[in-house]
Amino acid sequence: MKKITVFKGDGIGPEITDAVLKILEAAKAPLEYEVFRVGLDEYEENGALIPEAAFASFEANKVLLKSPITTPIGKGFRSLNVTLREKYDLYANIRPAKSNTAVVTPFPDVDIVTFRENTEDLYVGVEEQIDADTVHATKIITRRASTRIITDAFEYARAQGRKKVTCVHKANILKKSDGLFLSIFKEIAEKYPDIQADDRIVDAVCMQLVMKPQQFDILVMPNLYGDIVSDLTSGLIGGLGLLPSSNLGRDHAMFEAVHGSAPDIAGKNIANPTAFLWSACMMLEYLGEMEAAARIRRAVDQVLAESEHKTPDLGGRATTTEYRDAIIAHL
Ligand code: ATP
Is the C-beta atom of 240 inside 6 A of ligand 1?
yes
pLDDT at position 104: 87
Q: Indicate which atom in ligand 1 lies nearest the CA of residue 271.
A: 28
Beta-strand pair 111-117/92-98: antiparallel
User: Measuring from atom 31 of ligand 1, which residue has the nearest CA?
Assistant: 241
- Cα–ligand 1 centroid distance for 131 (angstroms): 35
Annotated catalytic residues are 123, 170, 203, 227, 231
- Cα–ligand 1 centroid distance for 133 (angstroms): 32
Secondary structure tally for the chain: helices H, strands E: 11, 12
Pocket perturbation via mutation, ligand 1, pick of 81, 85, 227, 259 by most ligand atoms within 8 A of CB: 259
pLDDT at position 74: 64
- Cα–ligand 1 centroid distance for 106 (angstroms): 22
- Cα–ligand 1 centroid distance for 134 (angstroms): 31
pLDDT at position 70: 87
Report DSSP state, residue 28. T
Short-list 236, 229, 234, CA closest to 211: 236
Pocket perturbation via mutation, ligand 1, pick of 232, 240, 261, 279 by most ligand atoms within 8 A of CB: 240
Distance CA(179)–CA(195), nearest Å, equals: 22
Is the C-beta atom of 260 inside 6 A of ligand 1?
yes
User: Do residues 235 and 226 lie in contact, with contact meaning Cβ atoms separated by under 8 Å?
Assistant: no
User: Do residues 312 and 271 lie in contact, with contact meaning Cβ atoms separated by under 8 Å?
Assistant: no
pLDDT at position 75: 64
Q: Indicate which atom in ligand 1 lies nearest the CA of residue 261.
A: 10
Is the C-beta atom of 168 inside 6 A of ligand 1?
no
Q: Which amino acid is at 319?
A: T
Is the C-beta atom of 238 inside 6 A of ligand 1?
no
User: Measuring from atom 7 of ligand 1, which residue has the nearest CA?
Assistant: 260
The alpha helices in the chain, defined as continuous H runs, are: 13-26, 40-46, 52-61, 80-87, 143-159, 177-189, 202-211, 223-237, 274-286, 290-305, 320-330
β-pair partners for 131: 134
Is the C-beta atom of 262 inside 6 A of ligand 1?
yes
Q: Show pLDDT as tens, one digit a residue, over the chain (331 residues).
A: 899 999 999 999 999 999 999 999 999 999 999 999 999 889 889 988 899 999 999 999 999 999 999 887 766 677 788 889 889 999 999 999 999 988 889 999 999 999 999 999 998 889 999 999 999 999 999 999 999 999 999 999 999 999 999 999 999 999 999 999 999 999 999 999 999 999 999 999 999 999 999 999 999 999 999 999 999 999 999 999 899 999 999 999 999 999 999 999 999 999 999 999 999 999 999 999 999 999 999 999 999 998 899 999 999 999 999 999 999 999 9
Q: Which residues, other chains included, contact 138 with Cβ-Cβ below 8 Å and sequence gap of 6+?
A: 122, 124, 126, 127, 128
